[in-house]
Amino acid sequence: MAVPEGLKDGWTISTAIICALAVTPVAAVVYLALTPEPGDDIWSHLVSTVLPDYIITTVGLMIGVGIGTVLIGVSAAWLVTMCRFPGRRIFEWAMLLPMAMPAYVIAYVYTDILEYAGPVQGMLREMFGWQTGRDYWFPEIRSLGGAISMMTLVLYPYVYLLSRAAFLEQSIGVLEASRVLGRGPWHGFFTVALPLARPGIVIGLSLVLMETLNDFGTVDFFAVNTFSLGIFDVWMNMSNVSGAAQLATVLLLFVALLVLSERYARRKQRFHNTSSKYQALPGLRLRGKLGLLAMTICALPVLLGFVLPTWILIEYAVQYFDPLLASEIAGYAWNSIKLSLLAGGLAVVVAIVIAYSVRIRGGQVLTSLSRLASLGYAVPGAVLAVGVMNVLGPLDNSIDAYSRETFGISTGLIFSGTIAAVTFGYLVRFLALSLGTVEAGLGKITPNMDGAARSLGHGALSTMRRVHMPLMRTSVLTAVMLVFVDCMKELPMTTILRPFNFQTLATFVHQYASDEQLGEAALAALSIVGVGILPVILLSYAIARSRPGHGQVMARPRQKNKMSKGSR
Amino acid sequence: MKNSMRKHGLTALLTASLAVTTTALTWGNSAHAAEDVNLYSTRQPFLMKPLTDAFTKETGIKVNMVYLKKGMLERLKTEGMNSPADLILTTDIGNLHNHLKAGLLQSVSSDTLNKRIPVQYRHPDGLWYGLTMRARVIYAHKDRVKPGEITRYEDLAAPHMKGRVCIRSGKHVYNVSLLASMVVALGEDGARTWAKSLRENLARKPQGNDRAQVKAVYEGQCDVAVGNTYYMGKMATNEKSPEQKDWAKSVRIIFPNQADRGTHVNISGAAVTKSARNKANALKLIEYLSSASAQKIYAETNFEYPVLDGVALHPIVASWGTFKADKAYLAKIAEQRSLASRLVDQVAFNK
Q: What are phi and psi of A482, to 5 degrees?
A: -60, -45
- pLDDT tier at A157 (50, 70, 90 boundaries)? very high
Query: Nearest by CB to B341, which of A238, A382, A420?
Result: A238
Q: Is A141 exposed, middle or buried (0-12, 13-18, 19+ CB in 10 A)?
A: buried
Q: What are phi and psi of A480, to 5 degrees?
A: -60, -45
Can you tell me the distance from the alpha carbon of A78 to that of A73, in angstroms, rounded to the nearest whole number? 9
State which amino acid sits at residue B281. Answer: N
Mean pLDDT across chain B: 88
Cβ atoms within 10 Å of A296's Cβ, excluding its own: 10
Mean pLDDT across chain A: 83
- pLDDT tier at B24 (50, 70, 90 boundaries)? low
State which amino acid sits at residue A369. Answer: L
Do residue B21 and residue A500 have CB atoms under 8 angstroms apart?
A: no
Can you tell me the distance from the alpha carbon of A487 to that of A491, in angstroms, rounded to the nearest whole number? 8
* Domains B36-133+266-312 and B134-264+326-346 are alike in CATH topology: yes
Tens of pLDDT, residues A94-144: 999 999 899 988 998 998 888 777 788 888 888 888 877 677 888 888 889
Strand partners, B39: B65, B87
Residue A474 is predicted with a pLDDT of: 79
Query: Nearest by CB to B341, which of A222, A233, A341?
Result: A233
The ranges assigned to domains in chain B are: 36-133+266-312, 134-264+326-346
From chain B, pick out residues whose CB is under 8 angstroms from the CB of A500.
Answer: 29, 31, 38, 64-66, 84
Strand partners, B66: B40
Can you tell me the distance from the alpha carbon of A496 to that of A422, in angstroms, rounded to the nearest whole number? 9
**Per the CATH hierarchy, to which homologous superfamily does domain B134-264+326-346 belong?**
Periplasmic binding protein-like II (3.40.190.10)
Can you tell me the distance from the alpha carbon of A508 to that of A130, in angstroms, rounded to the nearest whole number? 40
Q: Provide CB contacts within 8 A for A154, sequence distance 6+.
A: A98, A99, A101, A102, A103, A106, A305
Chain A, nearest residue to B11 by Cα: A465
Cα dist from A100 to A343, A527, B55, whole Å: 17, 10, 39
Mean pLDDT calculated for residue range B279-298: 94
**Strands (DSSP E) found in chain B:** 36-41, 62-67, 87-91, 105-106, 129-141, 165-166, 224-228, 251-254, 265-273, 305-306
Tens of pLDDT, residues A295-325: 999 999 999 999 999 999 999 999 888 888 8
Do residue B29 and residue A116 have CB atoms under 8 angstroms apart?
A: no
Do residue B21 and residue A551 have CB atoms under 8 angstroms apart?
A: no
Measured in angstroms, the CA of B259 and the nearest CA of chain A are apart by: 30
Tens of pLDDT, residues B32-90: 445 899 999 999 888 899 999 999 999 999 999 999 888 899 999 999 999 999 999 99
Do residue A417 and residue B64 have CB atoms under 8 angstroms apart?
A: no
Long-range contacts of the stretch A233-236 (C-beta < 8 A, 24+) = A233/B171, A233/B341, A234/A42, A234/A46, A235/A383, A235/B70, A236/B70, A236/B173
Cα dist from A93 to A81, A282, A434, A541, B156, whole Å: 11, 20, 20, 7, 53
From chain A, pick out residues whose CB is under 8 angstroms from the CB of B216.
Answer: 116-117
From chain B, pick out residues whose CB is under 8 angstroms from the CB of A142.
Answer: 205, 207-208
3-state secondary structure of B38: strand
Mean pLDDT calculated for residue range B284-296: 95
CA angle, residues A198, A201, A207, in degrees to nearest 5: 135
Do residue A117 and residue B70 have CB atoms under 8 angstroms apart?
A: no
Instruction: Flag whether pLDDT at B6 surpasses 50.
Output: no
Cβ atoms within 10 Å of A301's Cβ, excluding its own: 26
Do residue B24 and residue A420 have CB atoms under 8 angstroms apart?
A: yes
CA angle, residues B232, B237, B241, in degrees to nearest 5: 100
Do residue B351 and residue A225 have CB atoms under 8 angstroms apart?
A: yes
Chain A, nearest residue to B20 by Cα: A342
What is the DSSP-derived secondary structure letter of residue A135?
Answer: G
Run of H or E including A340: helix A323-361
DSSP string, A511-529: HHHTTT-HHHHHHHHHHHH
From chain A, pick out residues whose CB is under 8 angstroms from the CB of B341.
Answer: 233, 237-238
Cα dist from A498 to A89, A238, A282, A336, B63, whole Å: 41, 25, 51, 12, 16
Mean pLDDT calculated for residue range A229-242: 86
Interface of B with A in 69-88 (CB under 8 A): 69-71, 73-75, 77-84
3-state secondary structure of B324: coil
More confident residue, A563 or A255: A255
From chain A, pick out residues whose CB is under 8 angstroms from the CB of B2.
Answer: 553, 556
Can you tell me the distance from the alpha carbon of B41 to that of B91, in angstroms, rounded to the nearest whole number? 9
Do residue B77 and residue A393 have CB atoms under 8 angstroms apart?
A: yes
State which amino acid sits at residue A468. Answer: H
Q: Provide CB contacts within 8 A for A368, sequence distance 6+.
A: none
From chain B, pick out residues whose CB is under 8 angstroms from the CB of A342.
Answer: 17, 20-21, 24
Residue A566 is predicted with a pLDDT of: 35
Measured in angstroms, the CA of A86 and the nearest CA of chain B are apart by: 31
CATH T-level assignment (fold) for domain B36-133+266-312:
D-Maltodextrin-Binding Protein; domain 2 (3.40.190)
The dihedral of CA A216, A222, A226, A227: what is its sign?
positive
Full set of structural domains in chain A with CATH: 321-383+417-568 (1.10.3720.10)
Can you tell me the distance from the alpha carbon of B69 to that of B43, in angstroms, rounded to the nearest whole number? 8
From chain A, pick out residues whose CB is under 8 angstroms from the CB of B171.
Answer: 229, 233, 237
Cβ atoms within 10 Å of A100's Cβ, excluding its own: 24
Mean pLDDT calculated for residue range A241-262: 87
Can you tell me the distance from the alpha carbon of A471 to that of A452, in angstroms, rounded to the nearest whole number? 15
Instruction: Flag whether pLDDT at A562 surpasses 80.
Output: no
CA–chain centroid gap for B216, Å, is: 22
Query: Nearest by CB to A116, which of B70, B84, B216?
Result: B216
Mean pLDDT calculated for residue range B296-300: 91
Query: Nearest by CB to A393, which of B65, B78, B342?
Result: B78
Task: Please tell me if residue B3 touches chain A, with a CB cutoff of 8 Å.
Answer: yes
CA torsion B123-B128-B132-B134 (nearest 10°) is: -70
% helix / strand / coil in chain B, to the nearest 5?
50, 15, 35
Can you tell me the distance from the alpha carbon of A369 to that of A366, in angstroms, rounded to the nearest whole number? 5
Cα dist from B293 to A388, B274, B286, B300, whole Å: 40, 28, 13, 11
3-state secondary structure of A134: helix
**Strands (DSSP E) found in B68-144:** 87-91, 105-106, 129-141
Decide if B130 contacts B307 (C-beta within 8 A): yes
Measured in angstroms, the CA of B265 and the nearest CA of chain A are apart by: 18
Chain A, nearest residue to B71 by Cα: A496
Do residue B70 and residue A232 have CB atoms under 8 angstroms apart?
A: yes
CA–chain centroid gap for A379, Å, is: 13
More confident residue, B8 or A80: A80
Instruction: Flag whether pLDDT at A175 surpasses 80.
Output: no
CA–chain centroid gap for A272, Å, is: 24
From chain B, pick out residues whose CB is under 8 angstroms from the CB of A551.
Answer: 3, 6
Question: Over pLDDT 70: what percentage of chain B?
Answer: 90
Do residue A345 and residue B14 have CB atoms under 8 angstroms apart?
A: yes
